[in-house]
Amino acid sequence: MAYVYSTESIIEALKKTRGKVYVAADALGCSHATIYNRALKVKAVQQEIDTQRETMLDIAEVELFRLIQTGNLGAIIWYLKTIGRTRGYKERVQIDHRLSDNEQVIVELIKHMEAANQSPGEKFQALVNRYANADASAD
């Protein structure tokens, strides 16, 4: 099949732009969709996109490690929060949730029932009865 933009020219543009599809398309004078569509049809185009992106990741990692070795605090913190999170280096997220009046009632009921050693079935029945009584008194 004859294409307006050859596969070779697309691959060359991707190499020059380090896999940046939009920039490569602009350099060729075509749409980014042209390159993405070609990548779907021609494995070599997708491989070039992937190769260039992996290369850029490698370059970024080398620079990150250089910054860490020079004591750059931002790089160290970022690395610990991302790669080091499996060792417990993560930001703590605190969620402040205020319970509604109904939620407060339920929590208090459950605490009361747990203190009275009631079974889950009894807890549920007590909640149903309480809400049934509350609905009846509201009418």
The radius of gyration computed from the CA coordinates of the chain, to the nearest angstrom, equals 30
What are the pLDDT tens digits along the chain (139 aa)? 667 899 999 999 999 999 999 999 999 999 999 999 999 999 999 999 999 999 999 999 999 999 999 999 999 988 988 888 778 777 765 666 777 777 777 777 777 767 777 666 676 677 677 767 766 666 5
Query: Please, are residues 28 and 13 in contact by the beta-carbon 8 Å criterion?
Result: yes
CA angle 73, 77, 82 (to 5 degrees): 150
pTM for this one? 0.57
Q: Of all helices (H) and strands (E), which one includes residue 24?
A: helix 21-28
Q: Which string of DSSP letters, residue by residue, matches 100-116?
A: PHHHHHHHHHHHHHHHT
